Copies of this chain bind each other. A is one copy, B any other.
């Protein structure tokens, strides 16, 4: 059994908890929270809820700590800190800051004889893996990543901060004609606007100026200005009924050429269609927790990413079983 701790019990923490239930070789030992533990109800009857202040009591009771905090403010501090005491995994997704985060976590893990995986999920994570594999195979080619149709939490939050907005949900949508052009092997150059559209469902407060809200959304720099954005005002009831889920997904496509004279085209496409972004991310984290535990037992130390993990470590099957049934 691989013994797991979860730090942070939001959507992602619950997703990890559900994934552990689906894997007979994994056991949830405890959920650690910054809140008052008595107010946190988890689903797993056999697991404890403990204050993060008491996490060191679990130092020898946990094989891997899955850190389910946010990338902006939680993980840059948490992952290096807890890599002192545990093997850890996070889903750090601020692409630009990955090298810095890697260096911090690597030092902490190595100094304390632990293994630490960062940026595990689907992007970064499975999408990154597929970019790396596809680039290694088709060295002459172009990469495309399309996201959606899915909920962007960051964009939804940005809309909610506008005056007069009570609630909002934003979907990132790939432009189907752009996806098809890429799949055809044409290797088009695509602008931001040509790749994705943004679809907003907004609940306005009573008496709010809808035209102003729509204009503020559509002109918001970074978030919406570079996209074709549609704004739909709906009631809170409708939002709760039709937009409660957290679906996401997307495709990583590499279009490449082979042949002595580059005469042949190839398309490698990896696609995800996810009903629940946090539950899928949680499932990826749990598979990598299995790998972290095994690799630590084999003596591997320091910070790793998905690029450093041989696929066999992720599977509950033995090498013999993998070769017989999956190869």
Which residues of A line the B interface, CB within 8 A? 15, 17-19, 21-23, 43, 95, 98-99, 102, 119, 124, 126, 128-133, 135-140, 183, 185, 258-260, 264-276, 279-280, 282-284, 287, 290, 305-312, 314-316, 319-320, 322-324, 326-327
Contacts and interface: CB of A to CB of B under 8 A. Distances in A.
B280 A266 contact: yes
B99 A324 contact: yes
B315 A311 contact: no
B264 A95 contact: no
A265 B124 CA distance: 21
Contacts of A260: 17-18, 21, 43
A327 B119 contact: yes
Contacts of A272: 266-269
24 contacts: A98-B323, A126-B133, A126-B137, A129-B311, A130-B270, A132-B312, A132-B314, A133-B314, A258-B280, A259-B279, A264-B275, A266-B273, A266-B274, A267-B272, A267-B274, A268-B272, A269-B270, A270-B271, A305-B327, A306-B311, A307-B315, A307-B319, A308-B310, A309-B311
A185 B131 CA distance: 25
A153 to B, nearest CB: 17
A284 B266 CA distance: 12
A287 to B, nearest CB: 4
Contacts of A279: 258-259, 264, 266
A276 B305 contact: no
Q: How many protomers of this protein does the assembly include?
A: 2
A258 B271 contact: no
A89 to B, nearest CB: 14
A322 B320 CA distance: 30
B102 A311 contact: no
A102 B260 CA distance: 33
Given A139-B22, A270-B269, A311 B15 contact: no
A306 B310 CA distance: 8
Minimum-distance CB pairs A-B, first 5: A264-B275, A136-B314, A258-B279, A307-B312, A267-B273
A272 B183 CA distance: 10
Nearest to A251: B269
A138 B283 contact: yes
